[in-house]
Structure 1
Amino acid sequence: MNNNFSLLDRKKDRYLLIVIILAFSIFFINVFKPWNIGRWYSDSPLIQSLRLSSYGIVTALVFLFTQFPLRKLFKQSNFRVKTYLLWLFIEIILISLVYIFLYGNPIGNFINDFLFSLKYTVLGILIPYSFALLIIYYKKHLEQIEALQNLLSTPLENKRLAFKDDKGKTKFSILAKDLLYIESTDNYVTVNFLLEKKFKRQLLRNTMKNLESRYSSEGILRCHRSYMVNTSNIEFIQKNKKKLNLHLRSIDKTIPVSEKYSSRFLDILS
């Protein structure tokens, strides 16, 4: 069973989440005015529209903060399901607190105000957040289908992988079937492959995270903080208690699998 939650791992998916929440919230709250929210204050139509829109803007700004600087601060580049649920809970709490300080009276009855704010925060983001996740999920599946179609349309023996540096410039390319594994080396990665049946290495300035998002659809999967492997070149998988090791064909090299990524390789093993 896969314990990873990958829908919000990519930056472009997080930006899409925020944009959808912003647009949907502003539209929904101004058009439908749920929970009689238009009667909470007595103000002119223009001021009311600005006030209602500000709820969506505040929510989007909090998500912008939690999904980028806060995730970077706590080094949450890849979510597991439990971590994701905890993170979402933190986001809801933060939004509720911001609402209290902007629209309520934090010096008054804080507990009652917080519970009131929490209730409407959950109700307010439930629809746009769920809608955004469905869009991201659908979009990712379309990308995977397209990548699979491209993969099937190209014979494996002729398929080449172009490796680009962190500035997007192609530095070299190799046959997909010859790639063995990729290893992280500080700000660089080392691409290990076969060339005319001889083991070769090529240094590339890039990150594992970038390569993971680019090549996972090609069957080149992250198995460790420091390693990615070409699954087509795994000779056998060895399980020793809770530890997994991958043995690659053509070379005397054992690649460790960390617990975070073990589920995907246990599926292969079974």
Structure 2
Amino acid sequence: MNWDFAHQKFTLLDQKSDRYFMILVCLVFGVLFINVFVPFNINRWYSDSGFIQFLRLSSYGFVVSLVLLFTQFPLRKLFDVKSFTLKTYSFWVVIEILLMSLVYIFLYGNPLGNFMNDFIFSIKYTLLGICVPYSFALLIIYYRKQQVKIRTMSDQMQTPIQNQLIAFKDEYGKVKFSLALEDILLLESTDNYVTVYFKAGEKIERQLLRNSLKKLEHTFADYGIARCHRSFMINLAKIEMIRKQGKKLQLKLKSLERNIPVSEKYSPQIEAISSPELPFHP
């Protein structure tokens, strides 16, 4: 298992508005989907019909939304969960499914009967019923956040660069040196160090910093210094030309002779910030 991947931050539900949106999607989807498609022959589980059956079927969607309200707000506050990693979020989703299954048993089943059999049965149908709206809501939230990120990067490209000093901190948070934003060209990852390329007069100088691009990425995002590759971060304002070779992009920075590769992961953001004034060569 790739433990580095498991420990990456999961930020889609950090904001309360996104959590409310996810819960609303699950509620609306649950009520409409269950009443229109009546999966698992759920309409035959009880001998009801008409409006009473509509209320009963809709209640399954309300149970989901109420459990999610509890897990995403009071429960997170109780355990002081401000943000997740992919690993902890996966564990949290399991807790949510188990809680939903328990609530269904106590509301619609017989907890004093064959509990384990009913519990496994409830987990099965809860998992099948919640995975589609839950995933759909997260995809919408992710798309919205990507659009905001792209617009922010575009705005940063069009904003005149201010002659402000940017502090570079090592892995322990200590400031090792500061550079004017307009002089910074490129950050390159080398083992446990980052090499910072900057312009000093007419020369290109380098400064070594013990840190990682992963830690610096969020720190410099507001300054228009963005990740374009696993090994590179660039000053967006210094892009002189974007060249496309096949499906891959390469960047040419002002005052720097070497070409900088762009990973497929970051290509959409780089293409989005290109403007008519910025040369783009296929």
Match of 2:26 in 1: 21
Aligned length: 184
Q: TM-score, normalised by structure 1?
A: 0.63
Structure with bigger RCO (C-alpha 8 Å, 6+ apart)? 1
Q: Equivalent residues in 2 for 1:58-97 (5 A)?
A: 58-97=63-102
Match of 2:214 in 1: 264
Look at both structures and tell me which one has the larger radius of gyration over its CA atoms: 2
Match of 1:237 in 2: 170
Measured in 1, the distance between the counterparts of 2:80 and 2:101 equals: 24
Superposed CA deviations along residues 144-180 of structure 1, whole A, max 9, x for unmatched, are 111112222211218xxxxxxxxxxxxxxxxxx35xx
Match of 1:104 in 2: 109
Match of 2:160 in 1: 155
Measured in 1, the distance between the counterparts of 2:38 and 2:132 equals: 14
Match of 2:45 in 1: 40
Match of 1:129 in 2: 134
- Greater alpha carbon shift after TM alignment, 148-157 vs 112-121: 148-157
Percent identity at matched positions? 55
Measured in 2, the distance between the counterparts of 1:103 and 1:248 equals: 63
* Cα root mean square deviation, aligned: 2.4
The gaps in structure 1 that reach 5 residues or longer are 159-176, 179-231, 239-243, 252-260
Offset of 1:237 from its aligned partner? 3.2
Residue type at the aligned position of 1:48? Q
Measured in 2, the distance between the counterparts of 1:262 and 1:53 equals: 50
SS at match of 1:156: coil
Residue type at the aligned position of 2:214? R
Superposed CA deviations along residues 109-161 of structure 1, whole A, max 9, x for unmatched, are 10011011100000010110111111111011111111112222211218xxx
Q: TM-score, normalised by structure 2?
A: 0.60
Offset of 1:250 from its aligned partner? 4.9
Match of 2:177 in 1: 249
Superposed CA deviations along residues 180-230 of structure 1, whole A, max 9, x for unmatched, are xxxxxxxxxxxxxxxxxxxxxxxxxxxxxxxxxxxxxxxxxxxxxxxxxxx
SS at match of 1:249: strand
Match of 2:125 in 1: 120
Offset of 1:248 from its aligned partner? 4.9
Query: Structure 1 segments of 4 or more deviating over 3 A?
Result: 248-251, 266-270
Residue type at the aligned position of 2:170? I
